[in-house]
């Protein structure tokens, strides 16, 4: 009898990154490994040693492959970390001790190696020397990989993904996401997460279709199962039938044809039907996204999240390293401006183990994050400020502080910026004396004192991802409450209005760089409220520009007034969606 094809089933999650992907799953399980423990028959000890030798060779080959990939996708420097990993595998002390453990206990080689490695990790981790502590992280990483090889399992590493697969994971950290190779990740599905989690933002910037909040999908699929990821509707279809594939082929073709029309219209300026010009800029995480910004005609960068430079580096990047990265972006886009945001580490972007500045926290989103961390580490902060200032000599740079909560914090940040300027003058190094500085408005307290902040900066940038999180008390990464995360909540609209009005009274520009900026449904509302600039993941620019070009500013203002008068967020959304649909249909 023919084996029956597994039946199709559908899982509804949250649409996180547009597009449709079809292909085999790669189940990415980051769970702790279970190492089996058993006694080896005395006659089989030699075979156990041979198994160990073979695993060492295979692991070395794996690491070399990953190293070559990282070199190609990221940089030579980032690939260097794997040299340290190779050294662990060649460490005669570690290997010798493992073999002695085998002789002494007669236990299986996985147990022996793990026992010795854990001893090393514990010893290194305790040493009060950053370099040696780093070795503990290397040994940990390599141990996991070697054990995976010994146990015949696929090592959990997204950088090493070489075949074209759909990544299915419980969760993906921002640094793991940053290590994903665009050409091998067809799609991403996670059990948890929300539209504004940083891993998703990275997926969107790479144009990888993604669905998050797929509940327990990792327990329902296996590596190799065929999946459709519908990043438009937030749906995952496991074992799709021929009929479903056909339907999705058609949807994809229709969306593609709409997208190509959008791209053609994207060559025109972002101007409303009644001649109001809007600035559309791009959000980027990595210097190599400059090409993407140009491709999608971003008018420069409205948000460069510099923390990704730190997340992808084994050591804290020096002033020189940062300067080189910032300068490359600024020169790559000149004369268009680049808004460089100072470090926003913490929250869901903790520093990798060895760079830890704060230590674990019960509520990281309410904790030692962004400007708070920088103000307590002025040397680290000033390295970055000098690097940004120096990059400003090579094009148009704007500097922006994240997570400002009040005027005093802004004063302290600006005082350190003045110190950095003075240090560069003393060194005789050039920078733009007229560098514009801005504050992100993403904490409700900052919004409420926007009138006090406005005289101290040149622009505001509304960070709605965090602003909504803090205003509505909804963890932006928690899928259980993701449905409550609502940009059309009356409180959100009122706060946006408050900030925009304060900016206008003080004659400073106000932009918006949260994910809300990249949703074309919200574009007319934001215009009508008075936002001057929208900044978003580059691939979203054409759709937003399309809406702007099909909207009259006078209508957008009326829409904003009507939306502000609503009391029920569902009605507000219905109102702005109807406005959007009328313009898309009219095309």
Catalytic residues: 198, 513
Interaction site with ligand PEP (CB under 6 A):
303, 305, 344, 442, 463-466, 513-514
CA distance 419 to 123: 41
Q: Which is nearer to ligand PEP, 117 or 202 (CB)?
A: 202
Q: Which is nearer to ligand PEP, 465 or 572 (CB)?
A: 465
CA distance 482 to 14: 8
Residue 537 interaction partner, one of ligand PEP, Mg ion, none, beta carbon < 5-8 Å per kind: none
24 upstream amide cis, omega within 30 of 0: no
Question: CB of residue 534 vs ligand PEP: minimum separation in angstroms?
Answer: 12
Q: Give me the residue label for tokens 């569902």.
A: 570
Interaction site with Mg ion (CB under 5 A):
442, 463, 466
Q: Which is nearer to ligand PEP, 395 or 514 (CB)?
A: 514
Residue 556 interaction partner, one of Mg ion, ligand PEP, none, beta carbon < 5-8 Å per kind: none
How would you list the strands of the sheet with 235-238, edge to edge? 9-12, 235-238, 226-230, 20-28, 165-169, 185-190, 210-212, 14-17
- Count of CB atoms situated within 10 Å of the CB of 61: 11
Question: CB of residue 467 vs Mg ion: minimum separation in angstroms?
Answer: 8
Q: Quick one: tokens of 100?
A: 């002695």
Q: Which is nearer to ligand PEP, 145 or 349 (CB)?
A: 349
Question: CB of residue 442 vs ligand PEP: minimum separation in angstroms?
Answer: 5
Residue 73 interaction partner, one of Mg ion, ligand PEP, none, beta carbon < 5-8 Å per kind: none
Helical ranges in 428-458 per DSSP H: 444-448, 450-453
Question: CB of residue 172 vs ligand PEP: minimum separation in angstroms?
Answer: 16
Residue 513 interaction partner, one of ligand PEP, Mg ion, none, beta carbon < 5-8 Å per kind: ligand PEP
Compute CA distances 521 → 181, 194, 284, 302, whole Å: 30, 19, 22, 20
Question: CB of residue 216 vs ligand PEP: minimum separation in angstroms?
Answer: 27
Question: CB of residue 478 vs ligand PEP: minimum separation in angstroms?
Answer: 15
Residue 514 interaction partner, one of ligand PEP, Mg ion, none, beta carbon < 5-8 Å per kind: ligand PEP
- Count of CB atoms situated within 10 Å of the CB of 36: 8
Residue 231 · residue 19 · CB < 8 Å:
yes
Q: For residue 514, which of 417, 440, 413, 419 has the smallest C-alpha distance?
A: 440
Q: Which is nearer to ligand PEP, 74 or 513 (CB)?
A: 513
Residue 394 interaction partner, one of ligand PEP, Mg ion, none, beta carbon < 5-8 Å per kind: none
CA distance 331 to 425: 22
Q: Which is nearer to ligand PEP, 290 or 443 (CB)?
A: 443
In the three-class reduction of DSSP (H, G, I as helix; E, B as strand; rest coil), residue 28 is classed as: strand
């Amino acid at each position: 009898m023919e084996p029956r094809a597994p039946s199709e089933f559908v899982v509804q999650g949250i649409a996180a990154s547009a597009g449709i992907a079809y292909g085999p799953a790669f189940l990415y399980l980051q769970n702790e490994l279970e190492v089996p423990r058993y006694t080896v028959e005395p006659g089989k000890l030699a075979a156990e040693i041979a198994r160990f030798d073979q695993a060492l060779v295979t692991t070395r080959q794996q690491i070399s492959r990953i190293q070559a990939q990282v070199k190609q996708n990221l940089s030579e420097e980032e690939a260097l970390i794997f040299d340290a990993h190779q050294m662990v595998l060649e460490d005669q002390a570690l290997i010798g001790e493992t073999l002695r453990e085998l002789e002494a206990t007669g236990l299986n080689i996985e147990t022996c190696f793990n026992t010795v490695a854990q001893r090393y990790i514990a010893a290194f981790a305790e040493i009060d020397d950053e370099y040696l502590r780093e070795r503990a992280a290397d040994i940990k990483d390599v141990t996991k990989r070697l054990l995976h090889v010994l146990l015949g399992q696929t090592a959990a590493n997204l950088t090493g993904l070489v075949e074209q697969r759909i990544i299915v994971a419980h969760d993906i950290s921002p640094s793991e996401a940053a290590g994903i190779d665009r050409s091998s990740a067809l799609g991403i599905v996670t059990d948890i997460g929300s539209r504004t989690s940083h891993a998703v933002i990275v997926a969107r910037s790479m144009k990888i279709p993604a669905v998050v909040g797929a509940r327990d999908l990792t327990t329902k699929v296996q590596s190799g199962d065929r999946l459709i990821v519908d990043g438009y509707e937030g749906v995952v279809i496991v074992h799709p039938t021929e009929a479903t594939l056909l339907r999705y082929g058609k949807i994809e073709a229709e969306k593609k044809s709409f997208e190509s029309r959008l791209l053609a219209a994207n060559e025109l300026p972002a101007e409303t039907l009644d001649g109001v010009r809007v600035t559309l800029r791009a959000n980027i995480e990595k210097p190599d996204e400059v090409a993407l910004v140009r491709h999608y005609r971003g008018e420069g960068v409205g948000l460069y999240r510099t923390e990704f430079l730190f997340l992808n580096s084994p050591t804290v990047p020096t002033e020189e390293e940062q300067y080189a990265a910032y300068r490359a972006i600024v020169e790559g886009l000149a004369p268009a401006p680049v808004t460089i945001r100072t470090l926003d580490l913490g929250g869901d972007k903790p520093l990798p183990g060895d760079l830890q500045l704060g230590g674990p926290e019960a509520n990281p989103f309410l904790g030692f994050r962004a400007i708070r961390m920088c103000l307590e580490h002025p040397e680290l902060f000033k390295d970055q400020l000098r690097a940004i200032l120096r990059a400003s000599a090579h094009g148009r740079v704007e500097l922006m502080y994240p997570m400002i909560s009040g005027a005093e914090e802004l004063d302290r940040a600006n005082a350190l910026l003045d110190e950095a300027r003075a240090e560069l003058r003393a060194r005789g190094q050039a920078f733009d004396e007229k560098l514009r500085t801005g504050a992100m408005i993403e904490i409700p307290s900052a919004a409420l004192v926007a009138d006090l902040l406005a005289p101290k900066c040149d622009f505001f940038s509304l960070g709605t991802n965090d602003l909504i999180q803090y205003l509505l008390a909804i963890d932006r990464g928690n899928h259980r409450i993701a449905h409550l995360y609502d940009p059309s909540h009356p409180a959100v609209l009122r706060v946006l209005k408050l900030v925009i009005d304060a900016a206008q009274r003080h004659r400073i520009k106000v932009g918006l760089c949260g994910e809300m900026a990249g949703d074309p449904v919200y574009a007319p509302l934001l215009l009508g409220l008075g936002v001057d600039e929208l900044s978003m993941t580059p691939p979203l620019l054409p759709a937003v520009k399309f809406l702007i070009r099909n909207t009259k500013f006078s209508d957008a203002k009326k829409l904003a007034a009507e939306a502000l008068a609503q009391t029920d967020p569902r009605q507000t959304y219905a109102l702005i969606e109807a406005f959007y649909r009328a313009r898309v249909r009219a095309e």
